[in-house]
Amino acid sequence: MTDATEFAPGLMIRGITAPQKLADYKLIAFDMDSTLITIECIDEIADATGKKAEVAAITEATMRGEITDFKDSLRQRVAKLAGVTEADMARVLKERLQLSPGAASLVKAARAAGLKVLLVSGGFTYFAEHVRGLLNIDFVRANVLEVRDGVLTGGLIEQTWGDICDGAEKRRTLLEVASLIGISPAQCIAVGDGSNDIPMMQAAGLSVAYHAKPRVRNEAKVAINEGGLDRLLEVLQ
């Protein structure tokens, strides 16, 4: 992380003075996979068809920024999910989905400080809505997997805003929700780990990289490289 200073072990800051006040912000936006939760859902779903390694390799290259067209990357990966059943997805949700360390504490603190919470994901509503319930999240935007007769088709369902929530859509959603609740982008925090989170991080007043890829850490004002999400509370008190 260029021009960064170590605020505490495993916690880097750049371009800000700390500690700041959490209550100075009004919205916190989170990526889901490998940020609010510990897994990449699409990789775990692919495990049901024996294609986890193949799909995970595309996911990793996309998050590192080596594959720059997120929409095309996601379509490729979702196509490999054809034949996965709703029962397979339920198993992933029950057996593999876990909140990241400190996620509940950070969201609870943010809500107590008066912030609204947004989950904006290139993943899927099937999991995002579950996480919404776990954390009492205010707004969710994610992709919808097409299901016919209890089986994934390998396609996505178009929504009113489009069919794929990529980096540009994440940024647009952050700005849309900010406008909806009457705040400026400077009053937003954006937390993510992959290249498709960079556009919303650049739009927000405070950008936070969580156990992120190098390119993402280099864009962030705060980089949590060790420990849980609640380490942000060391910077925002």
Question: Which tokens is 187 given?
Answer: 């009053």
Q: Where are the domains of the chain?
A: 5-38+100-235
Active-site residue flag, 31: yes
Taking the CA atoms of 141, 180, 200 and 159 in sequence, report the sign of the dihedral they define: positive
Q: What is the pLDDT of residue 2?
A: 55
Rounded to an integer, what distance in angstroms lies between the CA atom of residue 12 and that of residue 84?
41
Helix, strand, coil abundance in the chain, percent, nearest 5 = 45, 25, 30
Give DSSP secondary structure letters for 146-175: EEETTEEEEEEE-BTTBS---HHHHHHHHH
pLDDT per position as a tens digit, 148-182:
999 999 999 999 999 899 999 999 999 999 999 99
pLDDT average per 10 residues of sequence, the chain (237 residues): 84 91 97 97 92 92 88 93 95 97 98 98 97 98 97 96 95 98 98 96 98 95 98 96
Active-site residue flag, 166: no
Cβ atoms of residues 177 and 115 within 8 Å: no
| The one catalytic residue among 24, 33, 138, 230 | 33
Ramachandran assignment for 136, one of left (phi > 0), alpha (psi -120 to 50 degrees), beta (any other):
left
Q: What is the pLDDT of residue 49?
A: 86
CATH number, domain 5-38+100-235, options 2.40.40.20, 3.90.1150.10, 3.40.50.1000, 3.40.50.300:
3.40.50.1000
| The one catalytic residue among 31, 166, 193, 197 | 31
Q: Which residues partner with 27 through β-bridges?
A: 116, 188
Cβ atoms of residues 2 and 95 within 8 Å: no
Sheet holding 139-148, edge to edge: 5-8, 11-13, 222-224, 206-210, 188-192, 27-30, 116-124, 139-148, 151-157
Query: For residue 57, what are the contacts with CB-CB under 8 A and spacing of at least 6?
Result: none
